[in-house]
Structure 1
Amino acid sequence: MVVIQTERFDAAALIGQLQARSTGQAGAFVHFLGTVRDYGPDAQSRSLFLEHYPGMCEREIQALCDRAMQRWDILDTLVVHRVGELPLGDPIVFVGVASAHRGEAFRACEYIIDTLKTKAPFWKRETLADGRAFWVRQQEADAQKTAQWETPRETP
């Protein structure tokens, strides 16, 4: 399940939702929670604005989840990603994975968040406390991490 929304989400409720959908089958639940953080040591962030390509974004993230389900023995996935103006400290993204075993759940969750960062059509604009704003460029390290997942190896 993939949801793109402007509203703040409750990570504990999302974990509960994933657990309820996998009751009796899953022995492991792994989740990742990403939040708005400061841009860097020299400038404090005020907010992060996220835009997305509606429809295409959800399809791409669902395709990543489907690939994870084919690659690892997992039972379910849940991804919630926010868009719009998000203040410092607010949650941005939740990725949850249910599996019978923790190793599969950890690898699948890491794969989904790593590839989501480079494959899903999101654009981020950072606004600093002094009012300066700029579009955030994709990090080379993120692209390298995604490329490692695309090799035949089990983990990067």
Structure 2
Amino acid sequence: MATRLLTPAPLGWALICLALTPLWSATARAEQAGHEHGPGTGYGQPGSASDVARTIEVTALDSVRHEPSNLTVKTGETVAFVVRNAGQMRHEFMLGDAKEQHQHAQTMQAHPDMVHEEPNAVTVDPGQSKMLLWRFGTPGLVEGACHLPGHYEAGMVTRIQVTE
């Protein structure tokens, strides 16, 4: 008598994978904890090129400064930030509120070589320019900061006041 090996049919495999999806998703979120730049935050969301009200050039300097260092925008305004690295060191420009800046600083301490290409964060190599499109949300203070080792602490931040 022949022995029949019991193997799940393709439908069985599909059901197993479907059942495990929430577990895999939760694991992925846990691995990303402390490094979330989710769209739709209180301070805004990724913008659309068709809605850009103005373009602002932010220059990243090796003196660990962003120029300009202060800006004012309006709630609902979509801004195209052109971030230009005028120096010889790598820099980043990350938009976030105080909580997100703090979380990102901790992540960058653990992973200083991390590179960003996200809706609210870009890494800009020497001589490069990159663009962020951002639609500002609720009134308050938003920062555009560089969290490469020592840069934020030295003052490499653009303070963006969001007004009504």
TM-score by length of 2: 0.25
Between Structure 1 and Structure 2, which shows a larger proportion of helix residues? 1
Between Structure 1 and Structure 2, which shows a larger proportion of strand residues? 2
TM-score by length of 1: 0.26
